[in-house]
Amino acid sequence: MSDTPTSAAGVFTRNQIQAAPVVLDLERIASGISQALIVNSGVANCCTGKPGMQDAVAMSRMTADSLRIIPDQVLVASTGVIGPRLPMAKIESAIPKLVAEARPTGFVDFAEAIMTTDTVPKLVTRQALLKGAPFTVTGVAKGSGMIHPDMATMLAFICTDMGATAQQLQRILTAGVNDTLNKITIDGDTSTNDTTLIFANGRSGVDLQSPKDAALFNEVVREVLGELAQLLVEDGEGATKRVRIIVKGARSEASAHVVANTIAKSALVKTALFGEDANWGRVVAAVGREGVPIEPEKLKLFFGDILVFANGCGTDDANGKQVSSVLQQPRFTITMDLGLGSAEVSVYTCDLSVAYVRINADYRS
């Protein structure tokens, strides 16, 4: 919650199956004004029909009542299992306590409270100066599985004391999400509850008056979003590696993104990453299968800085010790140069481990 109403903007899942809180927030965020956010984890409140929508509304009303603010200015987010109803009695008894304990430094508790299969809370704060006045951008996110955002991600919330209009926030958030949260994948499954919200209450005393101001603020927000995106991948369900897939030399950004996503989502590439196996053939095969026209002879593939594939064949270095040591790192880069143009996209992915399967086989039990 904010002491005063804030400008607010959001980006939501493009999945056609949308959870009740997503539908409710889409409606409420249209006003561009919000003052509080209530989030639960464990139950997604998705595929719950009219009763689910009533639960979401009730959850916001209870929060508004406790805070003595307008219910329409409370946003709601849920994450967890699809299908079951929210435990409303539990929520009702918890809200007054949450409100009583709310404080400016509560972000860490919040980040912990919204975790599901996450193993670490995800919290990023940046401070910067605008016209000599300091402002802060703080972001919190959760998400570990069902992560293949499409115009949004799992749950991510950005709060700032910058002064900005809802329109300014929306523009900055949409562009920023597209370059960060929309460029990660954990398992290729797009959630029904993806929600990213930004709140700006203007408490810093500065606001965005010129395009230059907006550019500075934009940069800080993007840094926070980028950092959160990387934290999400690093904490991907069962993940032991965070791998950046760069596709360059593409004819268009769209085709680069398709190729990068195909590599990033391939079960065979992801299991090879888990096995620390420089199996470049699987990367090359993935590039060939998704329908973006390529010229096999022009492809150049690098693991880290080491060229492993060129002129249609593996290189002498492809099976060397240097490549093995790249694969053993917890973070590294795979670069595919298509040799056709100048467009470039990078996507973050993680490996597919035995633990991922275990987590998701046992998720509801």
Active site residues: 153
CB of 340 to a second copy, least distance (A): 12
Question: Tokens 């959760």 correspond to what residue?
Answer: 142
Our CB check for a second copy shows the closer of 240 and 252 to be: 240
Token pair of 85 as six digits: 């109803």
Token pair of 307 as six digits: 């060229």
Can residue 47 be called a binding residue for a second copy (CB under 8 A)? yes
Please give the Cα distance from 239 to 274 (Å, whole number): 8
Our CB check for a second copy shows the closer of 187 and 213 to be: 187
Select from 119-127, 160-168, 209-217, 312-320 the region that touches a second copy (CB under 8 A): 312-320
Among positions 38, 46, 77, 220, the unique one binding a second copy when judged by CB under 8 A = 46
Give 43's strand partners. Answer: 79, 81
Select from 57-65, 86-94, 108-116, 292-300 the region that touches a second copy (CB under 8 A): 292-300
Q: Measured between alpha carbons, how far is residue 181 from residues 78, 150, 279, 324, 331 in Å?
A: 18, 9, 27, 29, 18
Can residue 190 be called a binding residue for a second copy (CB under 8 A)? yes
Pick from 224, 105, 218, 103: nearest CA to 164? 218
CB of 65 to a second copy, least distance (A): 28
Select from 24-32, 100-108, 118-126, 355-363 the region that touches a second copy (CB under 8 A): 355-363
Can residue 89 be called a binding residue for a second copy (CB under 8 A)? no
Q: Is 54 exposed, middle or buried (0-12, 13-18, 19+ CB in 10 A)?
A: middle
Question: Tokens 């299908």 correspond to what residue?
Answer: 83
CB of 91 to a second copy, least distance (A): 20
Contact yes or no for 5/35 (Cβ under 8 A): yes
Please give the Cα distance from 266 to 285 (Å, whole number): 10
Collapsed DSSP state (helix, strand, coil) of residue 299 = coil
Among positions 42, 71, 288, 320, the unique one binding a second copy when judged by CB under 8 A = 288
Our CB check for a second copy shows the closer of 33 and 82 to be: 82
CB of 364 to a second copy, least distance (A): 5
Q: What angle do CA 71, 123, 108 make, to 5 degrees?
A: 70
Please give the Cα distance from 365 to 110 (Å, whole number): 25
Can residue 280 be called a binding residue for a second copy (CB under 8 A)? yes
Residues in contact with a second copy by the rule CB under 8 A: 14-18, 44, 46-49, 52, 81-84, 145-146, 148, 150, 187-192, 265-268, 271-272, 274-275, 277, 279-282, 284-289, 293-294, 296, 309, 311-314, 318, 352-354, 356-365
